Chains A and B, each alone.
Chain A
Amino acid sequence: MHEDQNTATRIHPDFFFGLVLLIIGVALLWHTTSERYDFDPLFDDVSTVYFPRMILILWVALSAILIVSGLRGRGSEEDRARLMAVGLPRLFLVLAVIIASALVLWLTGLLIGGPILMVAVGVALGYRRWVILVPVSTVLPIVIWFALGKIARISLPSGILWD
C-alpha cells in the first residue's frame, strides 16, 4: 500500500504531459496515412506528408522519452511545485470570463463588448476599485476604436448583431 502511494507521488507530471503529447502525436501520424494524401503525382516521393511524418515521428519519440523520465520520477522539482501552486478557482473563472467576453465582443462589437470585457476580466482578477475600473474600461475601447478603427483604418469587431 505504502509502496503504491510512494510510486504514485514519485511520478513526475512530465509523465502526463508526455502521455497527452504521445496520444496527439500518434493520432496525427495516423492521420497522415489517410487516403486523401495518396494522390500526389508531382511530388510522389517527397509527398505532402513526407516532412510532417518525420516531424511527428520525432514528436512521438520525444513524448515517449518524457513519459519514461516522468515515470521514473525524474524531472524538474520546480515544475512539480509550480503545478501544485496553481489557484484553480480563479484560473477557471478568468478563462470562463475570457471565453464569454470573446462571444460578447463578437456579438456586440468593441464599443459595447469592450467595456463589458474589461470590467469582467478586471473583476475576475480581483480588482474592486470601481471608480477606476469602470471609467478606464469605458474609455480604452473608445480610444482603440478611434485610434485603430478611425485613424489607422484597422478592421475591428463591429458586432454581428448590428451588421
Chain B
Amino acid sequence: MLAYLPEAISLAFSWHALIALVAASVLGVVVGVLPGLGSALGLVMVLPITFGLEPVAAIAVLVSVYACSIYGGSVSAILINVPGTPQSAATVMDGYPMAQQGKAALALGWATMGSFIGGMFSLVMLVLLAPELARFSLRFGPIEIFALILFAMTTIAWVSHGSMVKGVLASLIGVFLSFCGPDDLTGQLRFDFDIFELSGGFELVPVLIGIFAMSEILVQAAFMKDASAPMVIEGGFKLAPWPEWRARWVTLLRSSGIGAFIGILPGTGATAAAFIAYADAKRRSPRSANFGHGEPEGVVASETANNAVSGGAMIPMLALGIPGDGVTAIMMGALTVHGIIPGVFLFRDQPDLVTSLFVLFFLANIMILVVGAAGAGLYAKLLQAPISLLMPAVVALSFVGAFAMRTNPFDFAVSIVAGVVGFLLRLNGFPLAPIIIGFILGTPLERSVRQGLIMTDQSFLAFFNSPIAAFLFALTALVLLQPLVKLAIRALRGTSNGA
C-alpha cells in the first residue's frame, strides 16, 4: 500500500476531491446535527451528487459524510438532549447535563476531540487490517464465499434490533429482491412478471432511497407532534486543559479499541459500541459516581467509540465485500455505482483507489476538528430548523437520486413502494439494514452457492470439505442455535436451583 501513497496523495489532494471533501464534511455534520436525518439518510441524499463526480471525489464525499455525520449527532445530544443520530444516544447521558451546567462549549470540545481520536485510531486499524484480510480472502473460492456471506447475513439478522425471525425475514426479502431480472449465470429472466421495467431487475439506488429516505418521511408524518422549536442551549467550542486530557487518556484509548473492534463485527454498529464503551468507562473510572451528572469521560467514551466504528466497519466492507451495517451497505452500493467493487479483488486491482480512500478518510477525520470548531457557533441556529421544513428537501433529493440512475420514471414508483414497504416493516419492528445488505449480497450469495454445487456435483455435504467453510458454517450454526443454547442453559440452571 505504501508504494501507492504518493499517487493516492496526489489524487486525494486534487482540487475537485478537496472541494468535495470540505463540502461533504459540512453537509455530514449538518445531517448529523439535525435529529431525524442521520448517517444513512445523509449518504442516501448525497448519492445523486456523487454520480457526476470522479471516483476519488465520490469517495471523498462518501467517507466525509459518513465520518462527520457520526460526529454531528453529538452536537444535538449535548445542546438539546436529543441525539442527532442513534450513534450518539449514549452522549446524551453526560453531554446534556454538562450543557445544563453551562459547560456546553467544553462538552462539544470533548466530543469533537474524542470523535477525531476515535476516527484516527480506526483509520490505523483499517490501514493495518484491511489489506491483510483481503490477502487472506484471496484463498476463498465460491464455497468459502458462500459460507462467509451466510455467516455475515445470519449475524447481522441476529444482532439487529428486535426479533431474530424478523431480522432473517428482512434479509430474505432483500435477497429475493436481488433475484428479479436476468439470472446472473444464465441470463434467463426471473420474477419480472412480464413487466418490461422489471426485466433489468431493481436498481440499488431507488430501493435504497425508498427503504431509508421515503420510509423516514412516512415515519415523520405518522408520528409527527405539533411543531415547536426545541429548547436549545447555546454552544461554542472550548478544549479542556491538558491535565484533564491526561487523566482520561486510558478511556480514550480503550473506547477507540472497543469501537474499532465492534465495527469489524457484522451488524453491531456504532450505537452498541458507544453504549458498551460508556458502560466500560463508567465501571473502570475513578470518577464513576459523576457519570450521568455531566462527567466529560462519559462524553469522551461514547463519542470516541462511535467514531472508531467507522474505520472498523470499513474493514470487512472493503476487504471482503461484506457490509456490516446499513450505513456501510449504502457506502458499498455507492462505491459499486462508481465501478469500485469492494471485495477480494479490490486491493489487488485498484490499490491506488483504496490508498486514496485511506488518505481521504484521514482528511475527513481532520475535517471533524475543523468543522466542529468553526461551526460551533452556528449549531444553535441550525437546531431551530423544524423537521417539516427539512423533509421536503429530502423528498426532492430522493426523487432526483431515484431518477438519475437510469432516467426511468419507473424508479419513482420503486422508491415510493420501497418506502411504503420499509415504513410498514419498521412499524412492526423489522430492521431495515438487513434488507439492503440482503439485496447487495443476494447476487454473490446465489452465484457462489450455484458455482459451489456445480463444482461438487450438487453435494452440499462436500461444502464441509473446505476447512474455512466448515469453520464459518459452524459459527453460523452457533449463531442460529444461540436461542436454543440460552434456553438449555436456563433450563439447566432451573434444574440445579430446584435441586
Chain A residues proximal to chain B, CB less than 8 Å: 13-14, 17, 21, 28, 31, 37, 40, 42-43, 45-46, 48-52, 55-56, 58-59, 62-63, 65-66, 69, 75-76, 78-79, 82-83, 85-88, 90-91, 93-95, 98-99, 101-102, 105-106, 110, 114, 117-119, 121-122, 124-127, 129, 132-133, 136-137, 140-141, 144, 147-148, 151-157
Contacts and interface: CB of A to CB of B under 8 A. Distances in A.
B389 A148 contact: no
Nearest to B391: A125
Interface in B383-404: 386-389, 391-393, 395-397, 399-400, 403-404
Complex A-B, nearest 9 residue pairs according to Cβ-Cβ distance, in ascending order:
A152-B52, A94-B221, A118-B392, A125-B388, A127-B388, A79-B429, A121-B392, A102-B412, A91-B222
B52 A125 contact: no
Contact of A31 (B191, B223, B429, B446): B191
22 contacts: A17-B428, A37-B190, A52-B446, A55-B172, A55-B175, A63-B169, A83-B428, A95-B221, A98-B217, A102-B416, A105-B399, A105-B412, A125-B224, A125-B392, A126-B224, A127-B392, A140-B396, A148-B400, A155-B403, A156-B403, A156-B404, A157-B409
Interface stretch (B103-111, B364-372, B449-457): B449-457
B190 A157 contact: no
Contact of A148 (B52, B221, B391, B413): B52
A160 B403 CA distance: 13
A127 B399 contact: no
A58 B488 CA distance: 24
Contact of A66 (B166, B175, B409, B445): B166
B399 A122 contact: no
A156 to B, nearest CB: 6
B230 to A, nearest CB: 16
A46 B386 CA distance: 54
A83 B425 CA distance: 11
B395 to A, nearest CB: 5
B496 interface: no
B176 A28 contact: yes
B389 A127 contact: yes
B53 interface: yes
Nearest to B188: A48
Interface in B434-454: 445-446, 449-450, 453-454
A148 B388 contact: no
A140 to B, nearest CB: 6
Contacts of A83: 427-428
Contacts of A40: 186, 188
Given A28-B191, A124-B221, A140 B399 contact: no
Given A117-B395, A121-B392, A136-B389, 12 more contacts: A37-B188, A48-B183, A51-B450, A56-B176, A83-B427, A118-B393, A122-B389, A124-B221, A136-B393, A141-B396, A148-B48, A152-B51
Contacts of A14: 428
B289 interface: no
A125 B428 CA distance: 23
B214 interface: yes
Contacts of A102: 399, 409, 412-413, 416
B6 interface: no
Contacts of A122: 388-389, 391-392
B174 to A, nearest CB: 10
B377 interface: no
- Specify the main secondary structure of chain A where it touches its partner: helix
A51 to B, nearest CB: 4
Contacts of B445: 51
A110 B393 CA distance: 12
Contacts of A141: 396
B340 interface: no
Given A14-B428, A87-B223, A154-B51, A62 B168 contact: yes
Given A55-B176, A94-B218, A132 B389 contact: yes
Contact of B393 (A51, A76, A132, A140): A140
Contacts of A137: 392
Interface in B445-471: 445-446, 449-450, 453-454, 458
B2 interface: no
Nearest to B221: A94
Contacts of B391: 121-122, 125
Interface string B403-421: 1100101001100100110
A79 B179 CA distance: 30
B165 interface: yes
A151 B57 CA distance: 14
A66 B449 CA distance: 27
Contacts of A93: 221
A50 B218 CA distance: 36
B288 interface: no
Contact of B222 (A75, A79, A86, A114): A86
Report which residue of B162, B227, B389, B445 has the largest number of chain A beta carbons within 10 angstroms of its beta carbon. Answer: B389
Contact of A90 (B51, B183, B221): B221
B222 A87 contact: yes
A114 B400 CA distance: 10
Nearest to A141: B396
B453 A118 contact: no
A151 B52 contact: yes
A93 to B, nearest CB: 8
Contacts of A79: 162, 427-429
A12 to B, nearest CB: 9
A125 B186 contact: no
A158 B406 CA distance: 14
Contacts of B129: none
Contacts of A118: 392-393, 395-396
Contact of B224 (A51, A87, A154): A87
